[in-house]
Structure 1
Amino acid sequence: MLSQKCKYALQALMVLARENSDQLLLVSEIAERENLPKKFLEAILLELNRNGLVRSRRGRGGGYALAKPADLITFGQVIRIMDGALAPLACVSVNYYRRCDECRDEQACEIRRVMRRVRDAIANELDGTSLAKALADGKLPAEISA
């Protein structure tokens, strides 16, 4: 399950993805558009900035924008940054692997095999869905061709 922090990060990134890449948005603008708590959003945007997904400028005319094109930022990247592993069990995680204490033989473990397939399906979907793709998927066919 996604944490609230991760969900807010995705919401903020989607707001930025809808904007012109040169347009900087204030934290208060993003918070207002998505009805998010401003203080919490500030911390989230700082973390996204540290991880290279957004860029910021201070002072007059400052704010936040995506640091790279929306088609290069995936849901999988964001979730790993904010919440860690995508896998339902640590023993099937690619990036956060940890052996199960109670498992005698990982290769023979039926639970691990099923959870690995679940992890792979989740990762395929999330790593294959960029912010740009999510925006395009949400548009009506008439909007796409316009």
Structure 2
Amino acid sequence: MKKSKFGISGIQLVGIFALIVVFACIRIFEDQLFYDPLKLFFKHEGKVLPQYDNFRLFTGIAFRYLLNGLVSVAILWVAFKDLQIVKLSALLYGVFFLLIAPALFIALKVDSPNLLLIFYLRRFLIHPLLILLFLPAFYYQKGTK
């Protein structure tokens, strides 16, 4: 099987593309899949946080983070076929969630919340940003071995 200059076969590229389509579907159907009253708040640059259900907001953000994390780890598996990379990535996704999710909910509960902090913590949790770091980092690591 012929590989590109990046060491990825055509089948792997198709698999990665298919998983990127899954990311797009998560984004397209976000309103149907996840409870997130903060989306409209930040879209319209509100000044006062809207009323929200803590449990539903947490489960919505956690579910979205889980879906994005699973798709991201799947991309890493398809790209590298390395169980150690998958394990490390899954561990890092878990650690980041355990650090950032509580920080978001603490930031939401303070008397005069920092809206910019809330915006970025929420954004980190709902968007698949870590794959943008992990993919090139693991590619570089593989290339230097």
TM-score by length of 1: 0.32
Q: As a proportion of its length, which structure holds more strand?
A: 1
Q: As a proportion of its length, which structure holds more helix?
A: 2
